[in-house]
Structure 1
Amino acid sequence: MKCIDLTGIIMTWALAVSVTTAADPPARQAEVRPAIGMWLTVWWTEDDQYRHWVNCHRFPSRGRYTAGDPQVVADHYRQFRDLGVDFIIMDDTNGRHADGGRIIDNIRAWFDFMDAKPPAERIPICIGGGGEMRSGGAPNQQKAADFYHEQWAQRPSYFLLDGKPLLLIDTDKNYGPGDFDDPRFAVRWAYNGDNHAAMARNRAWGWGSYYPMPILEESMSMWPGHRFPKFVEEQGRDPLEEPREGGRLYVRMWLRVLKARPRFVTIADWNNFEEETAIEDSYAWEDAYGHATPNLYTRITRAYARLRTGELVKGECYRDENQPEVYLFDGEKLVHQGAEPRRAAIILTPAGMLGEIRARLK
């Protein structure tokens, strides 16, 4: 079976995302950087058998769900296509047998759905593991890799990095390259968001990061914010919290990534409401002024995904990072705004980019 290889993927946002294999290379154009990888939390079950939803203070607008429910999978896929997500990272970081196999069931549902799509419509999927490395070192991680290779890595929809299935190992910073490898995989590492030194040293892919995240050539990682609800319940605050600032943190993250232009960026994540890193629509999200803006983070994501090719999104507001003027894109031109927008975020652009786009629109 063929697996999808995103190396050298070419995307044009006016068209559907195109995916090619090494056996069927595209006509060469400028590579779109960075390719976007979205971490997906797959432990959710509507019945909450393993008690995840119960730990949340904030919830998705669609309510509680099972991550592998066919309707949920189809809707999330539709949104990922619209947002410009290039590949999906299944969060299996608690260990492959966690939650009595229900995480496996949800991952399988995603692969089954994606494998059934025509190749050009697939969003490739990889696994983010590491729980076994954390609990038992390389011997345990090898057992997990064997499982992943047998169950997932030979699927048509598995994401390839330079010709090999990508396996992310999210573990403690005392581990890194040299502690585990498997020639069947392209192995990359991820650490907790505060381990900037380990991220830089080991060129980690990451599961999010506190700002400012290390600038790396291959992959950078970000989140929209981070807060443990359990700490808030127990202590009245989360000492590790990175506040969302009504979307402003996420905008700064994206601006840093867009200026650095790594090969990949990983976003943590789509729907981890248990650690409040989710960007999925939620009635809890607010703009910088406190207005309810359920789709704030998906809008920011879409806007920056389009900016990779110098395109704007109708209805969003933009500002050059070095200029005070704010402009609304009305679908044809940039219109100066006399006040900051409400129920939105201002999309900061790298110095000079907005001026170049304005000149092109005239």
Structure 2
Amino acid sequence: MSTSQTDDHRTPGRYVSSGVEFTRDTNYISTRITRDGRDGFPVEPGRYRLVAARACPWANRAVIVRRLLGLESVLSMGLCGPVHDERSWTFDLDPGGVDPVLGIPRLRDAYLARFPDYSRGITVPAVVEVATGHLVTNDYAQMTLDFSTEWSHLHRPGAPDLYPERHRDEIDEIAQLIFEDVNNGVYRCGFAGSQSAYERAYQRLFDRLDWLEERLAGQRYLVGHTITEADIRLFTTLARFDAVYHGHFKCNRNKLTEMPVLWSYARDLFQTPGFGDTIDFAQIKEHYYVVHTDINPTKIVPSGPELASWLTPHHREQLADRPFGDATPPEPPSQAERVPAENTVPVFGG
């Protein structure tokens, strides 16, 4: 058992700094896993383990991309529980609270194995080298792009091209706007330390959501005619919007269900294999409402919203009828990686 597993497991973190705007630390570990191994970490089946958490929208992206590309057999996955302390995500879902492959109770142990003096945040998703137990990267944005490009020779037959070369500039541009105003925008609302900071973030968020509502009114996906990386990056925030961000983060001009285009777009993706089957609504709510004690000191987790509406028809196939183009949808997740039925909507056969 790592010595890092101390009583501070019960110590919550602080997320709001009074009087200031929330600023995300984006100084991630930029080591890349590439086909040529130029950073010292070549792509190899079985060499690495993706550590994620179903609660986290940034990690959810990596889980979806791994599913869509069929990398499960070459890149194993460990899942942290939804509740963490100020120091680390933990493997409390596993027997004995220890990851069965890495043999550690805390993701922090992998960070310190490579960087003994590491003092920044312990974030998911992260990729760890199994043999050494060293963290390789936590750069979530580059990670999924590399899954699409550097790992392409290990994709399943029929895997979609989520980052098509002819659309990369547009995907990058749209993804950056979504990050600034939506993905990170909800956090800038929720973690705002002043009324003015909150109101600025709120305005930017809903201005961008209105822009997306207009953009998606006449096209099924954000870029081109098939699902791309841009859609994945937007989806993980939309999936959490009514369950968490609308109330907990005060993003309450309206609910997602009250934005007709974005709501149908979100349901469309949710009902696509590889998307909705990665969403654990129970863990999502537990994470935000229990971890952020400076926002929700009672740790009371709301019972709603109801989930059945995620299954209602979206009719967006009328805009384009081939979500993956010439590619095919992924197979259902393995039993070991399936979200418990009671935590989601049984979209894909329970």
TM-score by length of 1: 0.29
- Structure with more of its chain in strand, by fraction: 1
- Structure with more of its chain in helix, by fraction: 2
